[in-house]
Amino acid sequence: MDLVKTVLRLGFSTASRPWLEIRDILRVAGGDQTAEIQASPLVIDRPQQRQRIIVEVRAAALEQEAPQSADSSLAQAIEIMSRLNEASEFPTLSQIKYDAIFIEPFSLPFHELLMRLKGRFFRPSILVESATDIGFVFDIHGNDDIKHISVGPMEAEQLRSQYLRWPPEGIPETFVFVGLTYESKAETQFGTELLREFLKTAADWQTSEAKAILDYLHGGEA
């Protein structure tokens, strides 16, 4: 299986410091001490690295496409977020979310791959048999975390147009798409070691879960 994209998102309980300072300037200039700032996200593309950094009023995110490995994606995420925090200290975190997208090529035409997924995950019914495409989603809620799984057959053009800004060469024409999200909504202060531990836990679960799903599709027991 191939890891094609990761997204790390940090949500803040309040606006981050630069936006608060701009808000204070607007309040003074406008003479309205209740004014709130509304701003479009600040988007910085790094096409050579296939990375996009997005800074919002109450969030910061890092998108990485075609990472060399899961470990390299984690290392880059930790380094970039730590440097952003050094440049302007993050407020209290209200969310940490890490997405990973895997694909697994199958030497089957799309309609045969569709039948494979129907047969492995659905009971026969009129609705299932008539469907020309499928996708299914699972949510798993824990005490402090939420896990989200989405699976379905996909063709290369959909991946290129809906998920990737810098598509790599050699995307297979037909494959199984597995998207996994690991999220924590516990309020906490940002720290490099805290982020490292969260990402390691998230990546270990995502990799093992994706492998189990794909092994099951290939005919193994899950």
**For the residues of 103-147, what is the DSSP string, one character each?**
EEE-SS-HHHHHHHHHHHH----HHHHH-SS--EEEEEE-SSEEE
pLDDT at 221: 44
- The 8-class DSSP code of residue 170 comes to T
Distance CA 123, CA 115 (A): 12
Q: What distance in Å separates the CA atoms of residue 185 and residue 171, rounded to the nearest whole number?
A: 34
User: What is the per-residue pLDDT for 219?
Assistant: 77
Provide mean pLDDT across the span 7-21: 88
Burial (CB count <10 Å: 0-12, 13-18, 19+), residue 136: exposed
Contact assessment for residue 8 and residue 61, using Cβ atoms and an 8 Å cutoff = yes
Q: Is 170 left (phi over 0), alpha (psi -120 to 50) or beta?
A: left
Strand order in the sheet with 2-12: 42-46, 51-56, 59-65, 2-12, 93-105, 174-184, 145-155, 136-141
Tens digits of residue pLDDT in 46-60: 999 999 999 998 999
**196 SS3 class:** helix
Task: Report, as an integer, the average pLDDT of 177-206.
Answer: 95
Predicted local distance difference test score (pLDDT) of residue 182:
97
222 pLDDT more than 70? no
Q: Using CA atoms in the order 16, 22, 26, 29, what is the torsion angle rounded to 10 degrees?
A: 140
**Partners of residue 53 on adjacent β-strands:** 44, 62
Arithmetic mean of pLDDT over the chain:
89
Mean pLDDT check: name the lowest of 124-133, 155-164, 170-179: 124-133
Average pLDDT of 112-123? 83
* The pLDDT of residue 117: 85
pTM: 0.89
Chain segment 16-43, per-residue pLDDT in tens: 887 778 777 777 777 777 767 777 888 9
Report whether pLDDT(90) > 90. yes
Give the domain ranges of the chain: 2-218
Residue 150 has pLDDT above 50, yes or no: yes
Q: 50 and 8 in contact (C-beta within 8 Å)?
A: no
pLDDT band at 192; cut points 50, 70, 90:
very high
Confidence band, pLDDT 50/70/90 cuts, at residue 127: confident
